[in-house]
C-alpha cells in the first residue's frame, strides 16, 4: 500500500511540474515575437532601414522574418500545449501511452524538459504505476 501512495504522490508532483514546464516553454516560445515585429517594420516601412534612398532592404526580406518568426511561435506554443496536456492526462490518470510519448517529447526542451521527461519516464515505467491509469 505504501508503494501505491508513493506512486500517487509522484504522479501528482509530475502533473504540477508538467504545468510549470509547459508555461515556461510557452514563455520561451514568445521570443520570436521580436523577429515578427522587426519583419513587419522591414516589410511595411523599408525606408527607415536604409541609409540612402535605394539602400533599403526588400520587403520580401521582412515577410520572411514574419513567416519564420510566426512558425517558430506556433511550434513553441504547440509544444507547450502538449506538455500541459500531458500534465492533465497524468492528473486524470488517463491515456497512459500518450503520457509516455509526451514525456519522451519533453526531453527535447533542455534542461527543464529533459529532467521532467526523464523523471516522468522513470515513474511511468514502474510496474505499479500502469494499473493506476484507466485507459
Which sequence spans correspond to the domains of the chain?
2-47+56-132
Helices then strands, each counted (H, E), the chain:
5, 0
Q: Is 97 left (phi over 0), alpha (psi -120 to 50) or beta?
A: alpha
- Distance CA(82)–CA(70), nearest Å, equals 18
Q: What mean pLDDT value characterizes the chain? A: 93
pLDDT given at position 135: 64
* 49 within 8 A of 42, measured Cβ to Cβ: yes
- The confidence band for 41, taking pLDDT boundaries of 50, 70 and 90, is very high
Give the mean model confidence (pLDDT) for residues 31-52: 87
Q: Which element (helix H / strand E) includes 123?
A: helix 112-124
pLDDT at 46 over 70: yes
Amino acid at each position: 500500500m505504501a508503494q501505491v501512495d508513493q506512486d500517487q504522490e509522484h504522479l501528482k508532483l509530475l502533473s504540477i511540474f508538467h504545468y510549470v514546464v509547459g508555461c515556461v516553454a510557452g514563455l520561451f516560445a514568445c521570443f520570436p515575437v521580436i523577429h515578427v515585429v522587426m519583419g513587419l517594420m522591414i516589410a511595411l516601412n523599408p525606408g527607415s532601414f536604409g541609409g540612402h534612398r535605394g539602400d533599403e532592404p526588400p520587403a520580401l526580406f521582412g515577410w520572411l522574418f514574419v513567416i519564420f518568426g510566426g512558425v517558430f511561435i506556433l511550434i513553441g506554443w504547440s509544444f507547450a500545449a502538449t506538455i500541459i496536456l500531458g500534465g492533465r492526462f497524468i492528473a486524470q490518470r488517463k491515456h497512459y501511452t500518450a503520457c509516455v510519448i509526451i514525456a519522451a517529447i519533453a526531453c527535447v526542451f533542455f534542461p527543464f524538459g529533459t529532467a521532467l521527461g526523464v523523471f516522468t519516464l522513470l515513474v511511468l515505467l514502474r510496474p505499479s504505476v500502469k494499473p493506476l491509469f484507466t485507459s
